[in-house]
Amino acid sequence: MRKNRLFIALFAFMLLVLSACGNSDTKDAAAKQKKAEPTSMILATTTSTQDSGLLDVLIPMFEKENNVKVKTIAVGTGQALEMGTKGEADALLVHAPAAEKAVVDAGDAINYKRVMYNDFILVGPKDNPAAVSGDDINAAFKKLADAKSSFISRGDDSGTNKKELGIWTAANIKPAGDWYVSTGQGMGQTLQVAAEKKGYVLTDRATWLAQSKNLDTLQIVVEGGKDLMNIYHVMQVNPEKHDKVNSKDAQKFVEFMIDSKTQEVIENFGKKEYGQSLFTKYTE
């Protein structure tokens, strides 16, 4: 009898799993009957577009209009661009114009279009120990380095990280030492580290607004300078260079992002919740 018990147990276990498989099959079949199997495309994008919730609004719109399943991979801009150059993604939505230009010039991406912008801001502890303010980010960074005020960097080759490193270079400072902390994580987590460690951090405004409810030890200290513009571009991966790319849907996605209807949605996104737009439309 003991033998049987073990068998029954194993059998029940397998049945459970098999029933799990079966269920999804019927669901798929039902979906198939309704309409043609949707095609699938991979969108490599930055964490800020996902963490702010913008993609949760835009992607379903696009999927519905075009019968496409979009696989959104939210990573740092550096990784997203790398996925583009390797042909692992079909479309890219990123925000590091200088690095993007290299990818476009190398012929890995085509159909390069400006979509929207928001701005970078410098956020710091409420008591502002380095006493930085105003709109001059280069001067602020110099002050931070002189005071060796705790600075939290993304350190993940993201668009924001690239921007931050660009400012250090422009200010002719090599940030290093105990005061310079590199998290290697996304914007949300980096902001949380800054809040805990009472450090200064460069962030995009969208993520800041979406997360400020958890960040009550931080405040905006520098904003509004013309150097602080954060521009997002969309592009499709060149199908001539990478043969497995889904260029049909990628092209549709680029067109969708710069469509005036989509631009209205972008402009209005977050207005109700935060009292201001998280992103501003900005096509060419």
Partner 1 sequence: MELLIEGLKKAIEMIISGDREVFAITWLTLKVCLISILFSTLIGLPLGILLGLTRFKGRRLLLLFINIGMGLPPVVAGLWITMFLWRSGPLGNLSMLYTPTAIVMAQILVSLPIVTSLTCTAFQQINDKMLLQIKALGATKVQTLMILVKQTKIAILAAIMAGFGRVIAEVGAAMMVGGNIQGDTRILTTSIVMEVSKGNFDIALALSFILLTVALLITAALTFLQQRRRLS
Contact residues: partner 1, CB under 8 A: 1-3, 5-6, 9, 13-14, 16-17, 20-21, 24, 40, 42, 47, 50-51, 53, 56, 59, 69, 71-74, 86-88, 185-189, 191-192, 210-211, 213-215, 242, 244-245
Nearer of residues 16 and 29 to partner 1, judged by Cβ: 16
Smallest gap from Cβ 178 to partner 1, in A, equals: 26
Smallest gap from Cβ 172 to partner 1, in A, equals: 33
Nearer of residues 51 and 204 to partner 1, judged by Cβ: 51
Smallest gap from Cβ 223 to partner 1, in A, equals: 20
**CA-CA distances (angstroms) from residue 279 to 176, 267, 269?**
32, 6, 7
Nearer of residues 3 and 174 to partner 1, judged by Cβ: 3
Nearer of residues 137 and 187 to partner 1, judged by Cβ: 187
Residue written as token pair 């200088």: 98
CA dihedral 18, 19, 25, 28 (to 10 degrees): -140
Smallest gap from Cβ 261 to partner 1, in A, equals: 22
Smallest gap from Cβ 276 to partner 1, in A, equals: 18
Nearer of residues 10 and 170 to partner 1, judged by Cβ: 10
Smallest gap from Cβ 56 to partner 1, in A, equals: 7
237 burial (CB, 10 Å; 0-12 / 13-18 / 19+) is buried
Smallest gap from Cβ 38 to partner 1, in A, equals: 11
Say if residues 249 and 90 touch (Cβ distance below 8 Å): yes
Nearer of residues 149 and 185 to partner 1, judged by Cβ: 185
Alpha-carbon distance 202 to 171, whole Å?
15
Nearer of residues 146 and 196 to partner 1, judged by Cβ: 196
Alpha-carbon distance 184 to 190, whole Å?
8
Query: Among 232, 248, 246, which residue's Cα sits nearest to residue 87?
Result: 246
Say if residues 73 and 27 touch (Cβ distance below 8 Å): no
Alpha-carbon distance 257 to 70, whole Å?
14
Smallest gap from Cβ 88 to partner 1, in A, equals: 6
Nearer of residues 79 and 149 to partner 1, judged by Cβ: 79
